Structure 1
Amino acid sequence: MKGALSWPFLRLYGLTLLYFSANAILNVVIPLKGESLGATNTTIGIVMGAYLFTTMLFRPWAGLMIQTYGPIPILRTILAVNGLALLLYTFTGLGGFFVARVLQGVCTAFFSMALQLGIIDALPDKDRSQGISMYSLCASMPGIFGPLLAIAIWQAGDWPLFTAAMVAIALLTGGVGYTVQMDRQDTEPAAGRTKQATAIRKSFGQLVKNSHLLKCSVLMLGASLVFGAVTTFIPLYAGHIRGGNAAVFLMLQASTVVAARFVFRKKIPSDGKWHSAFIMTVMLILTAAAQAVSFSAAGGAAFFYIGAVLIGMAQALLYPALTTYLTFVLPQADRNVLIGLFIAMADLGVSLGGIVMGPIADLSSYSDMYSICALLGVGMIFWGYERRRRAAGSG
């Protein structure tokens, strides 16, 4: 095998799978634990949203730190901190969960930026979307088995088993991560670091000034908000659905993500052109998914599970397509920093899915909340079309 499926990249994908395994369990256990402690949807949303909100804040600086100190010391440090965060879940309550989510968010900012930018820089143009898709696929694969394990642990009331799972994941991730070999880059001179730090600060203005980055970021922000609302509240909403099961829903969603990213990894546009019909179709799928989940409160489990498959399909296709497009159209000198900013918008969206939608669920219902997500999807369909018109006009 060669290219995105060569051995060095397969090893990175394996590390990715291990690293994100804990979240597949925690995404189910934390909402259920919070509800059992009497927490509101608002509180649960804040605890869940703290993870990627923190990731968003630290991600633009991650590339600078990695280049300054080298990938190996950074990787070993974050894996140690990540292990500490996983241990916090085993003996604390919601307050400790919040601290652990913040620590995990910091770690994920550095971990994901190091791997994704490494994949982008190492692969030729024609293989970029495939490499990004494979990374995302391995980050999603734990979602197939994680929810089933989480539900089994919760229903059995076996907290020692939860503790054992967290400890095992921390040790395995640390063991594999500590054996990864990367060529250390020379430490950049102080003047160079200052210049790059200034570029990071200026990059925030590019969200408005750069039309490519603006449109892709808004699309990703809106879609990620829907993804975040699903991740945070499906474990609680499933109990309101006739025949609904959160583990089955999340397993179907993750399985669809994995299957779609593998089957369509070569079909995702990787030519630097804006494919309006492709993006609009993906957003239409996401809109239908959110509405199906909303209607399942009245229509039953069939709509619930159809929504899971559709959400997985949209999730599988949108992120690799937008990220790959940006690698072509962003200025080379600022590309890594601006992509980091784009990924931060995806993190913000998922975080807002819990933080913003929690109060809406408290004030209305889960069904109404997902209907609002569907309306947001409709807006994103039109936003994708406008992006195509501007791209065509700019030649």
Structure 2
Amino acid sequence: MKGALSLPFLRLYGLTLLYFSANAILNVIIPLKGESLGATNTTIGIVMGAYLFTTMLFRPWAGLLIQKYGPIPVLRTILAINGLALLIYTFTGLEGYFVARVLQGVCTAFFSMALQLGIIDALPDKDRSQGISMYSLCASIPSIIGPLLALGIWQSEETYIFTAAMITIALLTGVVGYSAKIDRSASPPVNDGQTKQGAAMLQSFGQLVKNPYLFRCSLLMLTASLVFGAVTTFIPLYAAQIQNGNAAIYLMLQAGTVVVARFVLRKKIPSDGKWHSAFIMTLMLLLVIAAQSVSFSITGGAVFFYAGAILMGAAQALLYPTLTTFLTFVLPQQSRNVLVGLFIAMADLGVSLGGVIMGPIADLTSYSFMYTVCAILSVAMLFFAYERRSASVETKPSSKRE
């Protein structure tokens, strides 16, 4: 196998799978733990949201440091910190979980940026979308069996099982991570102009508004991620209200759809630097129907509940790699890493807001109404996805690979 499926990249995908295994379990355990302790949806949302909110804050700096020092040295450092965070979960309560989520957020900022930027720099243009899609696929695979394992751990009421799981994941991730390698031969050398970006880091946030490509992709991803975050945070609690509803089955169906769609359709994801309006609008429409199906399931039952899971998974599988690949073509080469970091930060912020903002809405109304709000927000994004003429990398010479 060559390109995105060569042995070095398969090792990186395996590392990704291991790294996100812990979070697949924690995404179910933390809401259940919070509810058992009498915490409100707002509190649960804050604890869950702390993870990716922290990730969002650190992503731009992660992109800069990785560009300067390389992905492997950064990767090895944060894997040690991640191991510490997983250990904190084994002997603390909800307050300690918040601290651990923050530490995990820092680690994930550097981990995902190191692997994604390493993959982008090491692969030729034609394989770039496949590499990003495979990374995203492996980040999603743990969510297939993670919820089921989490429910088994929770129902067993044996704390040593949870402790053993966290320690095992931490050790395996460290061993595989320290043996990983990324060829940076395709990446441009770091010059004085690039290293000075640190002093102007705050100025780069202005590109979220000034750069039309970054603005559009970030807004779409922010809204979609808010819906994904609301699902991750509250489905373990909402499922109990659905007749024949099961949170583990829902999350496994959604994650399974993500995995299958990203693998089967990985070559269909546009990798030409053009804006494909019809394709992106279709993905946003899937998100609208998915969110409303989940909302209606309180009346319609488990059929709508699980149908929403499949549609949600399909939208999640394709939207992120599509937008990320497009940006790698149209963003200026000299600031691409930092700006891609900002885009991914918007995805993180959306997931965080899915818990922080939607938690109070669920407290004041209901889970069903909260998911209807998610559907309405997604409808608004259909207008932002539309473009009369295709934006193309060919019209932006500065975005071509050197």
Give the TM bin, normalised by the shorter chain.
Answer: over 0.9
Query: Given the alignment of the two structures, is residue 268 of structure 1 paired with residue 272 of structure 2, yes or no?
Result: no
One-letter amino acid matched to 1:343 = I
Closer, same or farther in 2 for the Cα pair 1:61/1:383, shift >3 Å? same
Say if 1:199 and 1:266 are closer, same or farther in 2 by CA, change over 3 A: farther
Aligned to 1:348: 349
Paired residue for 1:339? Answer: 340
TM-score normalized by the length of structure 2:
0.94
Asked whether the equivalents of residues 273 and 391 of structure 2 are also in contact (C-alpha less than 8 Å), the reply is: no
**What's the counterpart of residue 237 of structure 1?**
238
Deviation at 1:391, TM superposition (A): 3.6
Cα distance between partner residues in 1 of 2:327 and 2:184: 26
Q: Match for 1:12: what amino acid?
A: L
For the residue of structure 1 that corresponds to 2:245, the secondary structure is coil
1:92 to 2:92 alignment: yes
Give the CA deviation at 1:390: 7.8
Give the secondary-structure state (helix, strand or coil) at the position aligned to 2:131: helix
What corresponds to 1:41 in structure 2?
41
CA distance in 1, matches of 2:142, 2:208: 32
Partner of 2:157: 157
Give per-residue Cα distances to partners, 1:212-253, cap 9 Å, x unaligned. Answer: 110000000000000000000000000000000000000000
Q: Could you tell me which residue of structure 2 aligns to residue 301 of structure 1?
A: 302
**Farther-moved stretch of structure 1 (372-381 vs 191-200):** 191-200
**Higher deviation after alignment, 201-210 or 141-150:** 201-210
Q: Do the aligned partners of 2:67 and 2:337 also contact (CA within 8 Å) in 1?
A: no
Matched with 2:203 is 202
1:27-106 map, 5 Å: 27-106=27-106
Q: CA deviation at 1:126?
A: 1.1
What runs of 5+ residues in structure 2 fail to find an aligned partner? 396-402
Q: Is the 8 Å Cα contact of residues 8 and 182 (structure 2) preserved in structure 1?
A: no
- Asked if 1 retains the 8 angstrom alpha-carbon contact of 2:85 and 2:103, the reply is yes
Deviation, structure 1 residue 106: 0.2
1:119-158 paired onto structure 2 within 5 Å? 119-158=119-158
- Shift in Å at residue 155 of structure 1? 1.3
**Aligned residue identity for 1:2:** K
Answer yes or no: is the 8 Å Cα contact 2:208–2:214 preserved in 1.
Answer: yes
Query: Partner letter of residue 82 of structure 2?
Result: N
Shift of 1:184: 8.3
Q: C-alpha deviations, 1:356-394, integer Å up to 9, x for none?
A: 000000000000000000001100111111x455848x9
How far residue 122 of structure 1 moved from its aligned partner, in angstroms, is: 1.1
Q: Is the 1:71–1:182 contact (alpha carbons within 8 Å) kept by the matching residues of 2? A: yes
Quote the residue 1:14 is aligned against. 14
Q: Give secondary structure in 2 for the equivalent of 1:284.
A: helix
Alignment gaps of 5+ in structure 1? none
SS in 2 for 1:79: helix
Closer, same or farther in 2 for the Cα pair 1:280/1:67, shift >3 Å? closer
Aligned-residue CA RMSD in angstroms?
1.8
Does the CA contact (< 8 Å) of 1:49 and 1:353 recur in 2?
yes
Matched positions, count: 392
In 2, the alpha carbon distance for the partners of 1:280 and 1:77 equals 40
Instruction: Show the counterpart of 2:178.
Output: 178
| Offset at residue 202 of structure 1 (A) | 2.2
1:388 and 1:83 map into 2 onto residues whose CA distance is 48
Cα pair 1:357 1:369 within 8 Å, conserved? yes
Deviation sequence 1:38-91 (CA, Å, 0-9, x none): 000000000000000000000000122224444333222211110111111111
> Aligned in 2, Cα 1:181/1:325: closer, same or farther, shift over 3 Å?
closer
Is structure 2 residue 331 aligned with structure 1 residue 330? yes
Conserved 8 A contact 2:284-2:379: yes
Q: What amino acid maps onto 1:371 in structure 2?
A: T
Alignment partners' CA distance in 2, 1:182 and 1:231: 31
CA distance in 1, matches of 2:390, 2:107: 37
Look up the SS of the partner of 1:295 in the other structure: helix
Seen in structure 2, the aligned counterparts of structure 1 residues 187 and 121 have a Cα distance that, compared at 3 Å, is closer
Distance of 2:85 and 2:388 partners within structure 1? 43
What is the distance in 1 between the residues matched to 2:317 and 2:71? 28
Q: 1:121 to 1:388 in 2, by over 3 A?
A: farther
Counterpart AA for 1:73? P
> How many Å separate the matches in 2 of 1:388 and 1:316?
25
Distance in 2, matches of 1:202 and 1:271, equals: 29
Within the alignment, does 1:311 sit opposite 2:312 as a pair?
yes
- Quote the offset at 1:124 in angstroms: 1.2
Q: Quick one: distance in 1 between partners of 2:84 and 2:388?
A: 45
* Code of the aligned partner of 1:345: M
Give the drift of 1:193: 6.1
CA distance in 2, matches of 1:257, 1:194: 37
Distance 2:70 2:344 in 1: 21
Question: Contact 1:274–1:388 (CA<8 Å) still a contact in 2?
Answer: no
Q: How much does 1:201 deviate?
A: 2.6
2:287 alignment counterpart: 286
User: Which residue of structure 1 lines up, in the alignment, with residue 400 of structure 2?
Assistant: none
Distance (Å, rounded) in 1 between the aligned partners of 2:109 and 2:55: 5
Shift of the 372–389 alpha-carbon distance from structure 1 to 2, 3 Å rule, reads: farther
Q: TM-score, normalised by structure 1?
A: 0.96
Per the TM alignment, residue 198 of structure 1 is displaced from its structure 2 partner at its CA by 3.5
